[in-house]
Amino acid sequence: MSILIDENTTFIIQGITGREAVNLTRECLDYGSKIVGGVTPGRKGREVHGVPVFDTVEQVVEHNGGVVPDGSVVTVPPAGTKDAVIEALDAGIKTIVIVTERIPRRDVAAMVEFADQQGARIIGPNCLGLIVPGVAKMGGIGGPAKNAEQAYQPGSVGVMSRSGGMTTEISSTLTAAGLGVSTAVSIGGDAIIGSTYAELMPYFEADPQTEAIVIYTEPGGRMEAQLSAWVKENNSRLPIIAFMAGKFMDDEEMQGMSFGHAGTIVEGKEDSATEKIARLQEAGIPVVERIDEIPDLVKAKIAERSAA
Amino acid sequence: MRFFEYEAREIVKRAGIPVTDYGFTTDAAEAKTIAERIGGPTVIKSQVLTGGRMKAGGVKFADTPDEARQHAEDILQLEINGHWPRGVLVDPKAEVKQEYYAGVVWDGTAKKPLMLFSDMGGIDIEQVAEDHPDHVGRGHFSALEPFHDFQAKQVIAAAGVTGKPLQRLTPVLARLARLFLEGDMLLAEINPLAELTDGSFVALDAHMEMEDEGMPRQKALIKALGIGAEEGTREGHTPTPFEEAVKAIDAADHRGVIQGKDTGFHGNIGLVIGAGGGSLTLTDAVRQQGGKPANYSEIGGNPSVAKACGLAKEVLQKDGVEKIAVMMSIVSNTRVDIVARGVIKACLELGKDPGETIAIFRIPGAWEDEGFKILDKYGIEYCDRSVSLWDAAGRAVAKIQGEVAA
């Protein structure tokens, strides 16, 4: 099992003729994903690695025998992202991965609100998508199929990360330790994202393959506070282990500076690494100092739960 | 992009919110002319992008135009928290009956804009929220659906305001909410928003901050405010020569992204690292093992050899930096061999031995075999993913500083 996507999931790629999108299409196809079409306005009739290109999402649905694809990976430039996402949602697509960076917050908020109204889910923006090891990937996560295979082996741990690269680093560590990954989600590094840790927890909770959760987090925003509250309110069967990067940003001299992702800026006391670590720990979520400590702690926590 | 008060007030005014008949100038003599036009007591306010100007003596009251000129002269030469004023604002001294607070911010958890309103204006809203929660009204609104005035009314009423003030303040908050969205703002705040003794309601001070990502579509507003392209995004701090140099290298070609910062870094370990999350993790790992980084950097996407070389060269040319650590979390887009060639080229161009200068190279992932081959040729210590980010950072600290903190 997995969350959000499985071996039957079909999806499209919006902005498929862009350079990065062409690579991404190749990678996903090689990994076994089912891409049923691509959209780039004005490029109807072309093909990208055998995937037919259309002008509109509506045309893809038509070509697909009236069946609405399950998902869309959106890679169009920031000025056009909102329109592309709303087009996909309007067509009835329910899982959207937004790869595009530097989208104004107003647009992100509007897309997320429309997705809520449609009963759909957005992952990202500014993310690499998600991967179910050995089954499918939706987005650039893990890179070319052979690299993805090296870092991601099927297993018992769900991974959520604000950094795309660190999703792979952590998953690789879990894979090397023999634990493997159930589903890994690069949730995006912006201040407003479609799916937060807490919002994805119920999916992992419902996935029998997942036995533990690892999150990668950073200063900025209130997402960890939301997860802590979720953990306190829900008697989850899943142990969660967190890694916090960017502790150096707590230094006096770094105040007001932004590092890493767009969302990684300390705007209030609650945003700082120190505060977040305290809040996570208070909710019973251990925060490790080093990535390489994660596998042993995951194993210990899983053993603890199964003994209980 | 942060705006000066005189710009923020102009933004507010353009949105149809009443402001006082103020004037902005960079010249003390003109401050006198403005005060003469105003004809009465005035307030002279330093225009700086930093807080605490009142305490620092950047706000002064004048009874006559001559006094206004004198104050303007003093304030124009007053540095506040390391910032020189852009100019002064000459404002009629308002006869205030009641001060209010009106603000709009983003709520990342609700994923919506949030209005805040209080009848206890003029002071820090966070303090008011803590001490007098019943005097603060809040309300989210949609970034998708049109804004309705009653949403502003509800927030004002929730702060305990009724009567004529409620009627007069509703359009002000509604306009602020609309300008927040339409202007791609991160913060839109009027504090104080005052009811004057003559019964009028005016914005006496305003703070606005625009999201950098929104700037491309806000060109008309930015231009109308007289802000030139050379001002960039008005970052919170003045970029250092290192930061300027890295930015220039990054702008030179479109492949990949490199960033470099050294504000607040004073050590001798040159960091050529990436990507977003990896850089944060590695900087922590170096510091936690007793290392003192000379800088922070980020390699993202798939940069050219020239870009990787440029970044490494800038780091190597920093004072006190003899060696660099080249490290990233596992990469899938970035080509390991290209980064390897770039950093080696940087050493060679500076007349340094790559094997000596590159303390450790830890970038596993795409094209790593090709990369490792090149590194071997130059006798550079490298490792693959079996060596953790923590241990790679530890090796860098040991080699450059001679010891690792326990």
Report the pLDDT value the prediction gives residue A271, as an integer from 0 to 100. 82
Contact criterion met (CB < 8 Å) for A165 and B278: yes
Show the low-confidence residues of chain B (pLDDT under 70): 236, 403-406
Residues B265, A154 contacting (CB under 8 angstroms): no
> Burial letters for A29-62: b for 16+ Cβ neighbours within 10 Å, e otherwise?
bebebbbbbbbbeeeeeeebeebbbbeebeebbe
Q: Which residue of A has its CA nearest to B280?
A: A246
Q: Do A259 and B261 touch (CB under 8 A)?
A: yes
CATH number of the domain at B21-93, please? 3.30.1490.20
Q: Do B279 and A192 touch (CB under 8 A)?
A: no
Separation between Cα atoms, residue A113 and residue A111, nearest integer Å: 5
How much is the pLDDT for A268? 66
Chain B residues with CB-CB distance to A225 below 8 A: 109
Residues of chain B numbered 270-309 and touching chain A (CB < 8 Å): 274-281, 283-285, 287-288, 296, 298
Domains and CATH numbers, chain A: 10-307 (3.40.50.261)
DSSP for B46-85, please give it.
E--SSS-TTTTT-EEEESSHHHHHHHHHHHHT--BTTB--
pTM: 0.94
Q: What percent of chain B has pLDDT over 70?
A: 99
Which of B:36-95 have CB within 8 Å of A? none
Domain extents in chain B: 1-20+95-236, 21-93, 241-401
| Minimal Cβ distance to B264: which of A108, A189, A254 | A254
Q: Establish whether domains B1-20+95-236 and B241-401 are of one fold.
A: no
Q: What is the pLDDT of residue B254?
A: 83
Compute the distance between CA of residue B173 and CA of residue B179 in angstroms, rounded to an integer.
Answer: 10
Beta strands in B17-175 (DSSP E): 23-25, 42-46, 59-62, 88-92, 96-107, 112-118, 136-140
Q: Each residue's pLDDT tens digit in chain A (308 positions)?
A: 899 999 999 999 999 999 889 999 999 999 999 999 999 999 999 999 999 999 999 999 999 999 999 999 999 999 999 999 999 999 999 999 999 999 999 999 999 999 999 999 999 999 999 999 999 999 999 999 999 999 999 999 999 999 999 999 999 999 999 999 999 999 999 999 999 999 999 999 999 999 999 999 999 888 999 999 999 999 999 999 999 999 999 888 887 777 877 666 666 667 889 999 999 999 999 999 999 999 999 999 999 988 87
CA–CA separation, B313 and B309 (whole Å): 6
Residue B328 touches chain A, beta carbons under 8 Å: yes
Q: Are A149 and A171 in contact (CB under 8 A)?
A: no
Contact assignment for A292 to B328 by CB distance below 8 Å: no
Helix, strand or coil, per DSSP, at residue A125: coil
Task: Say if CB A126 and CB A78 are below 8 A apart.
Answer: no
Interface of B with A in 147-186 (CB under 8 A): 181, 184, 186
Which residue from B296, B298, B329 is facing A169, i.e. has the nearest CB?
B329
Task: Give me the CATH topology for the region B241-401.
Answer: Rossmann fold (3.40.50)
Give the per-residue pLDDT at B236. Answer: 66
Query: Residue B332 is nearest to which of A78, A147, A260, comparing CB atoms?
Result: A147
Give yes or no for a contact between A180 and A206, defined as CB atoms under 8 angstroms apart: no
The pair of three-digit structure tokens given for residue A183, joined into one six-digit string: 């589903």
- Helix (H) or strand (E) holding A47, with range, is strand A47-48
Q: What is the pLDDT of residues B217-249, one digit of tens each?
A: 999 999 999 999 888 888 767 789 999 999 999
pLDDT value, residue B58: 95
- A51 touches A82 (CB < 8 A): no
pLDDT attached to residue B317: 97
- Given this structure, which CATH class describes domain B1-20+95-236? alpha beta
